[in-house]
Amino acid sequence: MPTTPPPSILSRLRPPPSSKTKSKPKALPPLSLPSPTLVSQHTPCTLHTSILPPELACRLFYTMLDEAKEWKRNKWWLFDRLVESPHRTGFYTRMERDGDGGEEVDEEGGWKEAAQFWYNGRETKAPSQFPAVMEEACTIIERVVNEELRKRPRFPLEWAGYPPDQSRPNGDRDSGILWRANVAASNCYEGAKESVGYHSDSLTYLGPYPTIASLSLGTTRIFRLREVIPSDEINLRQPRTYNIPVTHNSLLIMHASTQEKFKHTVPPQPTIDLFRPPFPRQSPPFASSSSSNPDHQIEPSNCRINITFRFYRPDFHPSTIPRCKCGVPAVLKPDMKNRHRGRVDRFWWHCNAGAQNEGKDCGFWKVLDMKGEGRGPCVGDVEARVEQENTSI
């Protein structure tokens, strides 16, 4: 008759099975956000359709399509291999007349230096100026962005804005300017397979909690957002993916906290619909799209042009950016995984030389110290000053 072997020492020491086994949070299915209402409801972004007059949007599309012929594919080292972006990109700086009405000057001064680091530190020629049609569009977009900012609660580390300018119309003079586009990064996605992987934008010159205005022209593509879950919530919930169709002449404003909480991508797609411009390619005034003149035939396009208008903050001017031991400007990133009460409270500078140095960097790392580095004024600074003034009355 077989005998049961005596229990081992390990079996005696092993704790009894728990009746309260923790189940992993369920994965959430992707959610499509095809309307401005849904975008605002689920993300820190706002979507604005038909943002430009149709003729202006079409003119800008044709202009940037021609400009894109000279754009390059970004290249950088990822660990031990050289990679190339699956789309073309270009960088533009805004110019304005100097105070005496003389020659044009680089607005805010020195942003040309920053262009090199849009290309991951790769040597590049001086950036182009805003074409006239881009400047025309930017004026409209600036107004919409500032209107939206005045509706929203703001974060303490956001830029507080320019002081009211007595020379401006009442609308600007009374409240000052909160956001002013001084650079634009442009991308061309040709066909269904060109894309960009998940990333959050570098904050080196944007500073904490930036606002970025992303204009789409041409064929419709999916803009995808995915939250980075804080470390202390990984066992409590799963991130959700949000798919936003960005159509021709639509503006997606990535408001403060988008870069701190989310990563975004333009993924490859199985197929895309060709874009058929509503106006032919010719000098204004535009003829009707139904024109029978063979010289005015409208060719469909498989390209999406994306222009991201950005405000490089004066307190994050290139001259103020710390340099690592490699002698190149450090890159500013948020501590996305250690958010506290829904806010990112810590940002850090780190060496980015490895992007162009066969993946090798010097290991430089430093926590951003807004007060110690003399940055601001920020929203929190202004609110603290107002509160102090009110309590002293």
What is the per-residue pLDDT across 211-221, written as a single tens digit (0 to 9) for each?
Answer: 999 999 999 99
Which tops the pLDDT comparison, 149 or 383?
149
Range(s) of the domain holding residue 43: 31-96+106-162+178-278+299-323+366-391
Look up residue 81 and give its DSSP letter. E
Long-range own/partner contacts, residues 286-290 (CB < 8 A, 24 or more apart): 286/55, 286/58, 286/59
Q: Using 50, 70 and 90 to split pLDDT, how confident is the model at 379?
A: very high
Residue with tokens 């005034």: 285
Strand 365-367 and strand 250-254: pairing?
unpaired
CATH assignment at residue 126: 2.60.120.590
What pLDDT does 1 receive? Answer: 55
- Find out whether 48 and 253 touch, Cβ atoms under 8 Å: yes
What does the alpha-carbon distance between residue 383 and residue 379 come to, in Å, rounded to a whole number? Answer: 6
| Domain presence at residue 154 | yes
Closest by alpha carbon to 253, among 133, 143, 148? 148
Q: What backbone torsions phi and psi does residue 212 show, to the nearest 5 degrees?
A: -125, 130
> Of all helices (H) and strands (E), which one includes residue 32?
strand 31-32
| Domain presence at residue 80 | yes
> Of all helices (H) and strands (E), which one includes residue 382?
helix 379-392
What pLDDT does 297 receive? Answer: 75
- Find out whether 46 and 40 touch, Cβ atoms under 8 Å: yes
Record the tokens describing residue 326, joined without a space: 């490699």
Q: What is the mean pLDDT of the chain?
A: 85
- pTM for the predicted model, two decimal places: 0.86
31: β partners: 242
Which tops the pLDDT comparison, 343 or 67?
67
Interval 170-196 mean pLDDT: 83
What does the alpha-carbon distance between residue 364 and residue 351 come to, in Å, rounded to a whole number? Answer: 5
Strand 241-246 and strand 221-227: pairing?
antiparallel
What does the alpha-carbon distance between residue 52 and residue 7 come to, in Å, rounded to a whole number? Answer: 78
Q: Using 50, 70 and 90 to split pLDDT, how confident is the model at 117?
A: low
| Domain presence at residue 273 | yes
At residue 378, the 3 state secondary structure works out as: strand
Question: Looking at the 3D structure of the chain, how many domains does it have?
Answer: 1
What does the alpha-carbon distance between residue 125 and residue 109 come to, in Å, rounded to a whole number? Answer: 17
Which tops the pLDDT comparison, 11 or 260?
260
pLDDT in tens, 8-20: 655 555 655 554 5
| Domain presence at residue 19 | no
What does the alpha-carbon distance between residue 98 and residue 76 come to, in Å, rounded to a whole number? Answer: 37
What pLDDT does 292 receive? Answer: 44
Closest by alpha carbon to 217, among 67, 374, 385? 67
| Domain presence at residue 267 | yes
What does the alpha-carbon distance between residue 335 and residue 200 come to, in Å, rounded to a whole number? Answer: 12
At residue 184, the 3 state secondary structure works out as: strand
| Domain presence at residue 261 | yes
pLDDT in tens, 302-318: 999 999 999 999 999 99
| Domain presence at residue 150 | yes
Q: Using 50, 70 and 90 to split pLDDT, how confident is the model at 391?
A: confident
Q: Using 50, 70 and 90 to split pLDDT, how confident is the model at 77?
A: low
| Domain presence at residue 12 | no
What pLDDT does 320 receive? Answer: 94
Strand 31-32 and strand 241-246: pairing?
parallel
At residue 341, the 3 state secondary structure works out as: coil
Q: Using 50, 70 and 90 to split pLDDT, how confident is the model at 360?
A: confident
